[in-house]
Amino acid sequence: MFTRLDHVGIACHDLDRAVRFYRTTFGLDVCHRETNEDQGVVEAMLRLNGTDDGAATYLQLLAPTRPDSPVGKFLHRNGEGIHHLAFGTPNVDREVADLQAAGTTVLFTPPRPASMGSRATFLHPRECGGVLVEIVTKKG
């Protein structure tokens, strides 16, 4: 069960430039930065609003730390733009089990460490109408 839209991931070549754009044009500020070496990305989180499950929705600006990372390959193929949607759930392990039982391919099992101490997995765009879907449970 998804209880919120957790974040929208946006791929960019230059993280500082993207951060400046969102601050200058829309007044949105960075609340968190981190590097995820496993995924080959450096990321900045911009909080948009609180959600009625007690969490929040963010924009996640993503730049590759190496050209052969998933986001590096995405940028090479598509250029900058929206990369993925992340849905929040109280229990990503249960979601994974339910999706697998229904025949959906889950890319990482078990889920891996993700933004701000969360745990997350992904579903392939091929199975989700062209949308790369992340499923995330925030740090308890």
Q: What is the binding site for a second copy (CB under 8 A)? A: 1-5, 8, 10-12, 18, 21, 24-28, 48-53, 57, 59, 78-82, 85, 87, 99, 102, 104, 125, 128-131
* Angstrom distance (rounded) from CA 63 to CA 37: 12
CB 118 within 8 A of CB 137: yes
Nearest to a second copy of 114, 135 (CB atom): 135
Nearest to a second copy of 7, 119 (CB atom): 7
Q: What's the min distance (Å) between Cβ of 32 and a second copy?
A: 17
Q: What's the min distance (Å) between Cβ of 114 and a second copy?
A: 19
Our CA dihedral for 22, 36, 83, 12, rounded to 10 degrees, sits at 50
**Which residues are registered as beta bridge partners of 75?**
none
